[in-house]
Structure 1
Amino acid sequence: MGFGDTAKRIQTLADKAEQTYKRLNDLRDEVEHTQTTVSDTGERVRALENEMAEQRAVLDAVAREVGVDLDSVSAQAHIAEAETATGDGVDTDDGTDTVPETDDEGTGSPANER
């Protein structure tokens, strides 16, 4: 094997090493950017959670002031959410769902059982 082949192989190896080094630097930059984004997102989430807690406290105070039963409202919301998630509506032939009617008070009792 001559010096020409050895020089060619060394140059190929040097080129690949340079490409690998560039890829590692690009990857390092991406990781740093991702870490910054995750950190910023975490701070925003904490701020939003604090703001939601403050808003909840204000809403609870207002609800108590006007005499709203918070437990009842919460229970109704959870029931409605569960019915939507489980698909308690009745399938019709046209592809739409119908939900059983409730009485005028919104208690969830079927209207025809009054």
Structure 2
Amino acid sequence: MGLGSTAKKLQGLSERAEAMYKQVQELQQRIIHLEEEVDETNDTAQRLDHQLTEQRELLLAIAEEQGIDGEQILADAAIDQAELEGNDEPVEPGETTAE
């Protein structure tokens, strides 16, 4: 094997290594960007959760002021939701789920 072919092989290997290095750098930047987006999304979700909790407390206080049992309404809604999720087939209005 001559020095010319060895040099060509080394040059080709060097070019491939450089291309792979660039790809790794690009991938690293994409990962960093994704991590930042995940952090931002997490912050937004926490803020929304906090606001939702505040709104729920406010609505329960208004309901209590009006003589409405807000906790019972929420419990009934949770039961209705659980029944809907437990039913595989959609129920038409006026139909019952009992067989």
Same fold (TM over 0.5): yes
Q: Scaled by the length of structure 2, what TM-score is found?
A: 0.84
Aligned residue number for residue 97 of structure 1: 91
- Deviation of the 1:15 alpha carbon: 0.8
Moved over 2 A (4+): 96-100
Distance 2:71 2:46 in 1: 26
Distance 2:44 2:82 in 1: 30
Aligned residue number for residue 70 of structure 2: 70
- Deviation of the 1:77 alpha carbon: 0.6
Structure 1 unaligned runs (5+)?
101-114
Structure 2 unaligned runs (5+)?
none
Letter paired with 2:14: A
Q: Scaled by the length of structure 1, what TM-score is found?
A: 0.74
Letter paired with 1:31: I
Aligned residue number for residue 5 of structure 2: 5
Aligned residue number for residue 26 of structure 1: 26
Aligned residue number for residue 44 of structure 1: 44
Matched positions, count: 94
